[in-house]
Chain A
Amino acid sequence: MNEGHGERVERFRVLYDAAYPRLMGYALRRARTRDDAHDVVADTMLIAWRRLDDIPTDERRMAWMYGVARRVLANQYRSTDRRDRLTDRLEHQAPAKPGDFDVVHEALDRLRADDREILTLAAWDDLSNDEIAVVLSITPGAVAVRLHRARTKLARELARLGVGSPAEKSMKSESRSRTPEGVYGIQPGPGEVERE
């Protein structure tokens, strides 16, 4: 495409205005410090600027940006060579924590990294299954299965910590549900807590 610099800037501006707030939220929740979060967003935007012609122009473009930010963040993790608990490394905490805040994060921290990732993409970044599929480079079907599994594991950990009912029921209406009679009780798993 033969376009002038000004035209490219304007094309990038549209993407930037939409992506910047969302990527800042994504990075601030996951980076070790606020400065690291700024680095993640800066690097992601630079990649987007240089790869502008490769970015989808449809509803997948935001998921594409998240995918880049994810890889930039992973590289940042490798370079710092340590992982901190999410709540320990955040400089800015929610001003008013709900009563079960610490328990929820304790349960979350007990999950595998990929389970934590898919849950937080859905819950905090508010991505749809289709968007998560683009971010993780898997199919929406796989997202649905993995998200369901991760959700079940989180519920189990919460139950172990004394939060909520061990009998979980989906809050979404599913007309084709054929859940068998009775409820499958969440059994304690074999021993060891899964951690990275």
Chain B
Amino acid sequence: MTGFDPIEMLRRADPLDPLEVPKDTTGAHARALFQEVTSMDVKEQEKAPRRPQPLLRRVAMGVGLAVFAAAIAGGAYALLKDEAEEVIVGGEPIGGDSMGMCLQYTEEMLANQEFAFDGTVVSIDEAAPQPGIDVPGVTVTFEVHRWFRGGEGSTATFDANGLVGETSLALTGPGLEVGQRYLISGTDSFVWGCGYSLTYDTAVADHWAELFAA
């Protein structure tokens, strides 16, 4: 069975006329802008000149540069949001992404997880190694702020082999740390990494609430 690809549909629905996009920098606007920009002093405190026929028509250029500098310093944030809501931006897959040992992430598999919750790590303990696994056994205890599925109570402990610190198998993403907040999912008594558990993110939490309630 073939489904449709929403990305491909979106690509075909590009609102921009390709003929309107310059293919190179030989056009009049591109040439004029290049001349304007390269005539500017490289010192940042100099504002863009204001002219009656401006190519650089930005008012208060210093404001734009300040926003840029603050954004670089502040890290990721949804700059295009209109409302100034308090959100936590995270969403980093625990133990990495699709490299190496990771299963492919799919929403179908996430929706079929036996447990899922929003929780903060309160302790990490060694456990006896699992048969056939080369890394030490690890159990992680969470303070659960919200169950999406498969549990109740304010604490829960799960196996988290390979998802803690230097024993992280994938070595490309964050591991579980005491005091940090996550969105956790898994099956049986095992926490899954690779997109199935992530650093806490407000938007992802909303999505999980909807997904697991369905």
Contacts and interface: CB of A to CB of B under 8 A. Distances in A.
B194 to A, nearest CB: 8
Contacts of B67: 71, 74-75
Interface in A135-183: 136-142, 144-146, 148-149, 151-152, 154-155, 158, 163-165, 167-171, 174, 176-180, 183
**Majority secondary structure of chain B interface residues (helix, strand, loop or mixed):** loop
Contacts of A170: 5
B4 A72 contact: no
A144 B98 contact: yes
Contact of B103 (A25, A43, A86, A178): A178
Contact of A104 (B13, B109, B173): B13
A105 B24 contact: no
Nearest to B94: A141
Given A178-B109, A180-B112, A141 B6 contact: no
A137 B76 contact: yes
B23 A158 contact: no
A28 B204 contact: no
Contacts of B106: 148, 177, 179
Interface residues of A, number: 93
A41 interface: yes
A84 interface: no
B127 to A, nearest CB: 26
Contact of A70 (B42, B79, B83): B79
Given A12-B38, A168-B3, A90 B15 contact: yes
Interface string B83-110: 1000000011100111000011111110
Most A-side CB within 10 Å, residue of B71, B79, B96, B103: B79
Given A41-B33, A42-B33, A138-B91, A49 B16 contact: no
A100 B12 CA distance: 9
B91 A146 contact: yes
A47 B68 contact: yes
B107 A46 contact: no
B87 to A, nearest CB: 10
B96 to A, nearest CB: 6
B133 interface: no
B21 to A, nearest CB: 5
Contacts, number: 243
B2 to A, nearest CB: 7
Contact of B78 (A104, A113, A123, A174): A113
B22 A21 contact: yes
A49 B92 contact: no
Nearest to A113: B80
Nearest to B44: A50
B82 to A, nearest CB: 5
Contact of B6 (A68, A164, A174, A190): A164
Contact of B38 (A49, A100, A163): A49
Given A29-B14, A52-B42, A75-B64, 18 more contacts: A16-B34, A21-B25, A24-B22, A25-B21, A42-B33, A74-B80, A94-B16, A98-B12, A105-B15, A113-B81, A123-B7, A142-B93, A144-B105, A145-B93, A164-B3, A164-B4, A180-B108, A184-B111
Contacts of B55: 38, 42
A98 B96 CA distance: 38
Contacts of B173: 139, 141
Given A28-B21, A75-B64, A117-B80, A145 B195 contact: yes
